[in-house]
Structure 1
């Protein structure tokens, strides 16, 4: 059956027109014995994506954006089958695999439609360029895949996630503030302890990276929010608008803080925007798009300032504790440790992205949206004197 598949691929995968896709699909539809080999070829295309630096979530996001949800499901099915080859997977892969969309059910509308959808997916996978890797690919040496667990880390992260989930769910701003404040306190202390522990044990000296999806609509405002959260955690963020994700560079504890906090603040901000917009509509105003854009821009800008203030405050408090001999910083000196980590993150980011550009952001045009967004950011601040998320 390989000649049939080769003929179908030659007709469909290396042209941009629908006629070639139809020709390839017709060939495959008439050859049911080729189905197994057709899927195996798809797994090879997925494997090539790993070699080019892509992760499961990246591939599915790209497919969903350029094709549709059905194609994303087909890609998820190929990914799930391909990764069964590996006895161990890199960090973060398991959570990404757990969040993949469901593959389409076995019952297919017809063989032609099925073959056409697969060929369209394969055609797209062939276009995936090489991107900056954010970790070892599956199948790498075990030493590259293995990340020693930090004592107490799973329990800490579970507790933080629970606090942020409650903050997102409550309808009372004061309660959300208290819950988020406690989560920030835990993350800030955990991050500082990790930095000092690494300095004492000469471990974790190399920053890592992760990718976080930045989806439409209003992706510019969302990218700005993510950049603010990353900066507050002593990470660097580089947004790739073409592929719909931001690469965040930093040490592991800080990357986890960025992922958790960004998700929570985005959920809180979206919920606040929806409530504010409902109030605007009740008042007879219908500037939905400009209102939302302005709201999220203000929300991101205001939170960025507050998070930066919180970072400085938390660092000063921790350093003061060390100077008084009452905290973990007394023996090692917190500020030099953090400065060294900042330098390592900057060097790593510049090596990964030697050529970056700045983007001119379109200004907000809706005053009501800006005002409501600023107020929402104030409500989302993480408590009065409690340290905000940071390293």
Structure 2
């Protein structure tokens, strides 16, 4: 009993293993491999009673994070899943572990660094030691069970990602204005202009790559598809990706799509998809208000149908805007890049399936969504000189 008391207080050793490690091991044995609340409470009680085990507990968390990287996860992926499965306290704790682990991690590139900068801030500790220990163990349970993902690391020979250009800065400014304006026609016109600039930027990048002695290879990124109405949002991302010479594969279970393409095009997809989602939400809110004024209640099928129609029509509009930039002499370059993108996608995802969009049954929602996407005029685009 004396030995046990010493161990629980954080003192002494057993066969060379420190007491703090023993506390953490016993807590893990009770909580991480047992899905019951009883096991979680037992593990949290052990940790709460041994303050000397805190450093070892944090070190183990950093090890879980490093293991997630080896399984193909990235910082934004982990935080997104934690928020999806747990809550903000767990997300703040995960962010703290990621930042701590980054201090002893290798350099991983610009996109990874941007994800580190975007990590949530805030206190990760709970109101008391037991609450905090419970949060830690719940997070570690999730991290322990992360499946392996397709790696997004640069392929051999791929050129490093360039810094953001002045063109992308202009595009961001246009999309910010589109999101901020209260006038639907202006928002859609600004988005159409942004897509035109994106298409021109993509063409410029393609021409530079074609003239370079060692053109870069396509890369990949993950974009979250958040509930509700994930199917319609995934269709919208697929339309944006296709219009920008990329391909998207949706992982419904984990709540993200992997987009494959050349770096400039990936930037365009991330920017435009986010902006269009914001604008679609604003347009849908206005359409619902009009429906309610007419005596109709909001329905899930209205929103699902609205977003499905919006994604469908926006896809057509973006494809038209992108097509105005593809001159005859550029088509072979774009075809070569399309083959490279398809090759990378098939190596990452040798088996994919198609899914049908469900819940599109509301005629009013479809009509309103199509009208919202049709407000912008995309004809009369100027070709590149």
The question of a shared fold, defined as TM-score above 0.5 by the shorter chain, is answered with yes
- Alignment partners' CA distance in 1, 2:195 and 2:182: 20
Shift of 1:90: 2.0
Contact in 2 for aligned 1:11/1:21 (Cα 8 Å): yes
- Mapped pair 1:341 → 2:337: yes
Q: Which whole-Å deviations, capped at 9, do the CAs of 1:116-159 have from their partners, x for residues lacking one?
A: 1101100110000110011259xxxxx98972636xx4322111
- Alignment partners' CA distance in 1, 2:369 and 2:324: 24
- 1:115 matched residue in structure 2: 133
CA pair 87-124 structure 1, distance change in 2 beyond 3 A: closer
- Mapped pair 1:220 → 2:228: no
- Alignment partners' CA distance in 1, 2:200 and 2:131: 54
Please give the secondary structure, in 2, of the residue aligned with 1:92: helix
Contact in 1 for aligned 2:110/2:161 (Cα 8 Å): no
> Which residues of 2 match residues 64-143 of structure 1 at below 5 A?
64-86=83-105, 88-104=107-123, 108-135=126-153
Contact in 1 for aligned 2:31/2:42 (Cα 8 Å): yes
1:310 corresponds to which of 318, 321, 331? 321
Contact in 2 for aligned 1:295/1:374 (Cα 8 Å): yes
Deviates more, 1:270-279 or 1:358-367: 358-367
- 1:147 matched residue in structure 2: 160
- 1:254 matched residue in structure 2: 265
Unpaired runs of 5+ residues, structure 1, are 138-142, 320-332
- Alignment partners' CA distance in 2, 1:202 and 1:145: 13
Shift of 1:385: 2.2
- Alignment partners' CA distance in 1, 2:323 and 2:246: 15
- Alignment partners' CA distance in 1, 2:343 and 2:159: 24
1:287 corresponds to which of 290, 298, 311? 298
1:203 corresponds to which of 214, 217, 223? 214
Q: Which whole-Å deviations, capped at 9, do the CAs of 1:180-227 have from their partners, x for residues lacking one?
A: 233223211111011011111133341100000000000000000000
1:236 corresponds to which of 247, 250, 255? 247
CA pair 382-74 structure 1, distance change in 2 beyond 3 A: farther
Unpaired runs of 5+ residues, structure 2, are 1-19
CA pair 155-312 structure 1, distance change in 2 beyond 3 A: closer
What is the aligned residue count? 364
Query: Aligned-residue CA RMSD in angstroms?
Result: 2.1
- Alignment partners' CA distance in 2, 1:204 and 1:337: 11
Give the alignment's TM-score, normalised by structure 1.
0.88
- 1:296 matched residue in structure 2: 307
Give the alignment's TM-score, normalised by structure 2.
0.89
Shift of 1:70: 1.3
- Alignment partners' CA distance in 2, 1:266 and 1:382: 19
Please give the secondary structure, in 1, of the residue aligned with 2:249: strand
- Alignment partners' CA distance in 2, 1:23 and 1:341: 56
- Alignment partners' CA distance in 1, 2:220 and 2:193: 26
- Alignment partners' CA distance in 2, 1:4 and 1:361: 50
CA pair 372-59 structure 1, distance change in 2 beyond 3 A: same
Q: Point out the structure with max Rg over C-alpha.
A: 2
